[in-house]
């Protein structure tokens, strides 16, 4: 009996739980995005409406989720592993830390001034990088500096967005 005949005899069964749940998550994400963008007008290809991009991306994401979920029935892959709480805390915490530090915040008597992208950029990269178990602090510091310079050049100068770079030092 060949390998193909054995696989056919086993029928439809999940061979990659990680792919299955990733596909289900993408389908759910697309459904929520479509529901949230439902009231936005699509427009036409000549006159694109506000709903064209979110609905198109949600449809593509949902379609890829279906393909991924169906491929989990055919191809062997990874089993679903437990969540890494350290990674979740560091990545979400880094995002919150970036939002608080770049523009500054007041919580009761606590006042943190706007520190800008020069401080917030490396801080978020270093904090989020702690989520990885195989991290190298030297490489992480170099990556933080390169990303901060790249983001400053892209967002502040190339795109002209009003992002504070270093208001505490340069006033920009």
CB 84 within 8 A of CB 118: no
Most confident of 3-17, 40-54, 140-154: 140-154
What is the rounded distance in angstroms from the CA atom of residue 115 to the CA atom of residue 13?
Answer: 53
pTM, 2 dp: 0.61
Distance of CA 158 to the CA centre of its chain: 23
Dihedral angle, C-alpha 115, 128, 27, 34, nearest 10 °: 0
With 70 as the cut, is the pLDDT of residue 3 above it?
no
């Amino acid at each position: 009996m060949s390998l193909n005949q054995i696989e056919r005899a086993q029928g439809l069964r999940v061979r990659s739980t990680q792919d299955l749940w990733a596909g289900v998550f993408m389908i759910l994400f697309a459904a929520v995005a479509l529901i949230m963008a439902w009231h936005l007008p699509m427009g036409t290809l000549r006159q694109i409406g506000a709903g064209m991009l979110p609905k198109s991306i949600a449809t593509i994401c949902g379609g890829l989720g279906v393909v991924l979920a169906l491929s989990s029935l055919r191809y062997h892959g990874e089993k679903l592993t437990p969540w890494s709480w350290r990674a979740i805390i560091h990545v979400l915490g880094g995002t919150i830390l970036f939002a608080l530090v770049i523009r500054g915040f007041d919580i009761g008597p606590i006042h943190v001034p706007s520190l800008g992208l020069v401080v917030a950029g490396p801080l978020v990269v270093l904090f989020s990088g702690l989520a990885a178990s195989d991290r190298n602090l030297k490489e992480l510091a170099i990556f933080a500096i390169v990303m901060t310079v790249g983001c400053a050049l892209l967002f502040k100068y190339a795109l002209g967005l009003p992002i504070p770079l270093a208001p505490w030092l340069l006033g920009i």
